[in-house]
Chain A
Amino acid sequence: MISPDLSRTLNALALLVISGILTAAFIDQIANFDLPCPLCLLQRVGFVAVGFGLCLNLVYGPRPQHYGIMIVSAIIGGSASVRQILLHIVPGTGSYGEPFLGLHFYTWAALAFFCITLGAAVMLILERQVSDPARMPVGLAGRPLAKLAIAVILLVSAGNAVSALLECGPGVCADNPTGYELLDEAEEEVDRMEQAQ
């Protein structure tokens, strides 16, 4: 059995791990120009949604419904990654992106969503942390690790919003993106204006 304080610390660490996963994908996107496909973006959304459940645990204390939100988010995010694995599971059907440590990012994502689901279920089994939610202190006062974890996930999530907007524009994301649509459009517009002058 674990105490509510230990549970909150574990949730903060888990949120930092989620942010780390998203940051690694972001760095790969920028450094290697490995643009995320729509299914890749939806997996990132799944990680951020899991982060929402973790934030709930950090702000309001651990409760079963917060872990439920994490599990539902992990299942939805995991659906996107499993779908992408199945698209490429037949030999000769190619892959998307470069592998990392022998596995593609969508395979790592599926494993991560499985671990998140398992972790949330284990935390639900350790019931003492959620036995008396009414007496749980609300807020982040005196919890620097929780503040840091929430600040990082907010930054990463906002960064992904900007990146996805630049890549897809206001419409539907291309299945195989080759560039940042909004930036390319802006560049074309500048070229047109220069030619017109």
Chain B
Amino acid sequence: MIALLFVLLTLSMVLLLFQRSMPAYLVFGVAMLLNVYWLNFHITNALALNL
């Protein structure tokens, strides 16, 4: 669910606006971990792509 990544990154930037740096870093870290998960998921199922 890639939409969740955008939601988390938006939330992390909103937290920055309120100068909540630690929660922002935490949310950003979760987003990046999920990002790497989905990256690994989608770059290893290339055979499903219509080349």
A residues with a Cβ closer than 8 A to B are 38-39, 41-42, 44-46, 48-49, 51-52, 55-56, 59-60, 69, 72-73, 76, 79-80, 83, 87-88, 93-94, 138-140, 150, 153-154, 157-158, 160-162, 164-165, 168, 170-173, 175-176
In the bound complex, CA of A175 to CA of B44 (Å): 12
- Evaluate contact between B10 and A154: CB separation under 8 angstroms: yes
- Evaluate contact between B49 and A176: CB separation under 8 angstroms: yes
B1-24 vs A, CB cutoff 8 Å, 1 = contact: the mask equals 111011101101110110101001
- Evaluate contact between A94 and B12: CB separation under 8 angstroms: no
- Evaluate contact between A161 and B3: CB separation under 8 angstroms: yes
B7 cross-chain contacts in A, Cβ below 8 A: 161
Given contacts A42-B2, A45-B35, A165-B3, contact A150 B42 (CB under 8 A): no
- Evaluate contact between A42 and B17: CB separation under 8 angstroms: no
Taking the closest CB of chain A, its distance from the CB of B30, in whole angstroms, is 12
How many chain B residues touch the partner (CB < 8 A)? Answer: 32
- Evaluate contact between B19 and A39: CB separation under 8 angstroms: no
Smallest Cβ-Cβ distance to A182: which chain B residue: B3
Taking the closest CB of chain A, its distance from the CB of B9, in whole angstroms, is 5
In the bound complex, CA of A93 to CA of B50 (Å): 9
B42 cross-chain contacts in A, Cβ below 8 A: 38-39, 42, 80, 173, 175
Taking the closest CB of chain B, its distance from the CB of A63, in whole angstroms, is 11
- Evaluate contact between A39 and B43: CB separation under 8 angstroms: yes
A176 cross-chain contacts in B, Cβ below 8 A: 49-50
